[in-house]
Structures are given as C-alpha cells and as structure tokens.
Structure 1
C-alpha cells in the first residue's frame, strides 16, 4: 500500500480497480474561504469507503482521495467543459452546492491561477495514480475493470426530476465498457428488486470517460447510488443536525450484498475473459 496525507492506493493483483473520488472531507486548509465547513462538505459521497470496504478482500486495487470535492472535483473534465451540456452541474473547483447555494465567501472564489494550483496539487496526482495502477494491472491481465464509486442524495431538483433510482450505472452510453459486462451488472441490479437504471441522469464522469478504453482492455463502470439505499436519508432539507446520518452496517447490508455481487461478477467476467 502507498499512502500520502490525502491519497491512498491499496494494491491488489486482481483485474479490478476501484476508484473512490468523492468521500474526502479534507478542505486542504481552505476552510476560511468557504461559507461554512459543513456546507463545503455537504455533497460528500458519505460512507462509500465503508460500503465498499470488502473490495480489497476480492484482490481489487483501491484508489481514494481524502480531499473534498469542494476543493477540486477529480471526476470533472480538467478543461472545465461540462460533462452534461445543458444540465445543471458543479465545476472543477465548485463555487456552489448541488442545490445551487454559494459555498465560497465573496471574493474567495478560485481564480484561474488557484484552479491551476489545485489541479497540479490534487487532480493530476489522482489521475496519475489511476493511470499507473491501470498500467500495472494491464501488465498482469489482458482485460481489467475500473469501477468508480459514487453516491448522492435521492432528491435534488436542480440536478434531476423526482426521486433518483437506487442504482445508477453509467458506461458513457456504452462507450466505456463491453456491452456484455454492462448487461451482467444490469441483471444484478434488476435482481435486487430495487429501482435501477443504466445510462440515465448519470452516464459516467471524467474518470469513466477518460479511463474506459474497451479497445485497450480497460472497461470502466460508474455506479451512482442514492443515499437512501444504504443510510438514513432525511426527507426534505438536510441540515447540520440531521446530515450526514451515521453509517449503520445493518441498514446498509442489503445494498452492500448487491454491490458485492456486482464486483464479484465484474471480476469473474474479467477473469473469464483473461482465460
């Protein structure tokens, strides 16, 4: 395992890489520039590292950053171009929450030079770590799966209508992974009996789009989970008194069981192809 103060890489030798880009709460010393630390951390992908802690036991390589997405979002196009043209989203270095509230104090919005500094300090090393581990695993296996882990609150009118399905699989509209793998994961989501969709509102962010290269033996999946599937998500507005709710392993167990089946199936698919 290699570990920096904000970047952790746990190496395995199986043809599976698990990326955890949005569980970080470290504001990198920039707390004074945010409206409040709680607001800056509100859109964190809460407890995903616990939900997927079984992945290392499967032999997967796990790459995770502790830096908050409010400092820099390593799942955005580094050029600043929107991944979802015409739809609301947040920036590479966000200035608003998912709900559209300002997170930066007036005058503390990151300028071009500050965005470049954060890219060099955090964004580029995270993707260099992914690229290095992908190259290492491809040296061991003809095909590998990159699985990018995410979660989001179930109801965010600015981003999507209604209530988001519990399981949201993205493959960049089929461009980042073999259709057979996509179908196998879709079958497991359907078998869970819980709401699911493939390439719906969340088709995959920069990690899926940048690193998914089926023609080169790298098959990338993004899984966006609705928080209500594994944690007690309040109805209505979230506030410091009720968000985030604590991680309850018993409550999360059914979703974790499905996710375990999904990663085991992805691993078996890659291993079977390798043979």
Structure 2
C-alpha cells in the first residue's frame, strides 16, 4: 500500500490500482494523543468521543482506486470538523485576536472541547493563545491543506470528485446533542440539506445501505460538519457526503472492542466504495 505520513498529524493512503475520483477522509478517529494533552476526566470517558475503527471500516479505499486521509490525533486535541473560530472564549486565557463564532462550542463540543459528550468538564485549566495557535498551525491547518489539495487534484484530473467524510455515532443521542436520549438509525447520511452533495448521490449511497438490511436517515441527527460544509460544491462537481455509522453495529462501547458485526459493516462500506469508484470511472 502506498502511504504518506506527516507524523502525528495525518496518514494518506494512496491508490493501489488506477486512480478514480474518490476521496475518503477520516478526521475524528485519531488515537495518537500528544504528550502535552491533559484532562481531569478518565481516559475511557475521553476516548468514547473518538470515532473508533472508522479508518478500518473504509480501509478498502485504496484498493478501489480512491485515496483515504486519516487524522492521527484525537479530536479532543483539536477538531478539524469544526470551524476554526467555533471556540468558547472562557476556555482561552486572554483575548483571541479574531471575533469568535461559537456554535457547537456553546454545548462544549466546538473546535476545542470543553466538555465530554456527556457533559463532564474536560480541561484542568484554560489554554493560552500560543497553545491554541500551536494546535491550529501544527494539526488543524495541515490536515485541511492536505484534504483541500487532494480534492483539487482529483477535480482537476477527472472534472469531478466524490468525497466521503467518515464518522461513527453513539446508539442514542448524548446529553450534549439535540437528540438527547433518542435512538438512532444504523447509518446517517448528511449533506447539509442539499448544500454539499446532490440528493441523487445521497439516495444512491442510501440504497446500498438499506439493500444490505440497515436503517438509514438523511440529515438526522447529523446534517454534516465543517469539513463537508467547507469543501462540498455539487454544482462544480465536488460531492461531499458525511457518513455516520452507529457504534452498536460494530463495537462494544464499554470495552472498545470490535463485535461480530464489524465485518458486515466493513463489507457494506466496501460496497459503497466500489459503487462510487465504478460511477466515477464511468463518468471520467
């Protein structure tokens, strides 16, 4: 497998067969906690917020001609699926040089998490401006620069590109989510209500999922985060779709171990990849 590594920041898995216009990014599955990371809550509580095994679920991407980009660091260090101004001013020591735009940070789940998914305070102290800038310049911006370049290269070569943003979600909504306590489907596909990819493509992927016997919702409970918002431009041929997979189908959230359902979920993901690869190759 052809792999490019920027140590501690990202790993890029390049095609092992002729390239097709397909990019998968896995931004919230990183397990390399920087030495400077500190928190006052148990590691198991922190790590519950990591999208475990998503990189493995989509691991067939290079084998169908696509490229997969994987963020090595955890989203509790900095979350690349949030706008860089979505910060809580109370978490920062001093005044940030730009006007902040808090949205998800209002519930503690912004660019820098101030709470776990279940609402526990995370940080031992406020972060200095220099510390936040180091995370932005050393992790956030390099990941986005690599993803932007990948999408641009594929778009230039093929005139279009299918971009999947891979995530996983809890079985029910946590206390910090709008659907707190509500059960969730097996899959959720999000295109920000039509902004980031066509309804036709979302239905195409959704049919593969339901044909495999799984339930699937569109834009509920997740419409899509900063990554698809930033890059999706279906009128220009950049189709960005966020895919959330329910953890109950492939892992034990208490032990963090895979369950017997993992291989079936991985097989469905591979079917999606193959279908998009064929679709992309046929239109190039």
Q: TM-score, length-normalised on structure 2?
A: 0.85
Question: Paired residue for 2:195?
Answer: 175
- Mapped partners of 1:122, 1:174: distance in 2: 29
Question: Paired residue for 1:8?
Answer: 11
- DSSP-derived class of the 1:96 partner: coil
Change (3 A) 1:38 1:209: same
Q: TM-score, length-normalised on structure 1?
A: 0.87
Is 1:260 the counterpart of 2:279 in the alignment?
no
Number of corresponding residues: 261
User: CA offset at residue 165 of structure 1?
Assistant: 0.8
The aligned runs of 1:51-62 (5 Å cut-off) are 51-62=57-68
Is 1:136 the counterpart of 2:153 in the alignment?
yes
- Mapped partners of 1:54, 1:102: distance in 2: 37
User: CA offset at residue 84 of structure 1?
Assistant: 6.0
- What is the CA deviation profile of residues 114-156 of structure 1, one whole-angstrom value per residue up to 9, with x for unaligned ones? 3222111100000000011112212221111111110122123
The aligned runs of 1:104-123 (5 Å cut-off) are 104-105=123-124, 107=125, 109-123=126-140
Question: Paired residue for 2:167?
Answer: 150
- Mapped partners of 1:35, 1:157: distance in 2: 17
- What is the CA deviation profile of residues 42-85 of structure 1, one whole-angstrom value per residue up to 9, with x for unaligned ones? 21101111222111211111111110110000100112145669
**CA-atom RMSD in angstroms:** 2.0
Q: Is the 8 A contact 1:71 1:93 kept in 2?
A: yes
- Mapped partners of 2:202, 2:102: distance in 1: 24
Question: Paired residue for 1:270?
Answer: 280
Question: Paired residue for 1:100?
Answer: 119
Question: Paired residue for 1:208?
Answer: 228
Q: Is the 8 A contact 2:185 2:215 kept in 1?
A: yes
After TM superposition, the structure 1 stretch with the greater mean CA deviation from structure 2, 157-166 or 265-274, is: 265-274
Change (3 A) 1:189 1:260: same
- Mapped partners of 1:216, 1:74: distance in 2: 23
Question: 1:71 pairs with 64, 77, 90, which one?
Answer: 77
Q: Is the 8 A contact 1:23 1:66 kept in 2?
A: yes
Q: Is the 8 A contact 1:23 1:48 kept in 2?
A: yes
- Mapped partners of 1:36, 1:43: distance in 2: 12
Which runs of no fewer than 5 residues in structure 2 stay unpaired?
A: 87-100
Q: Is the 8 A contact 2:210 2:216 kept in 1?
A: yes
Q: Is the 8 A contact 2:37 2:77 kept in 1?
A: no
- Mapped partners of 1:231, 1:38: distance in 2: 14
User: CA offset at residue 111 of structure 1?
Assistant: 4.0
Change (3 A) 1:157 1:42: closer
Q: Is the 8 A contact 1:16 1:144 kept in 2?
A: yes
- Mapped partners of 2:104, 2:221: distance in 1: 9
- Mapped partners of 2:214, 2:206: distance in 1: 12
User: CA offset at residue 102 of structure 1?
Assistant: 1.2
- DSSP-derived class of the 1:31 partner: coil
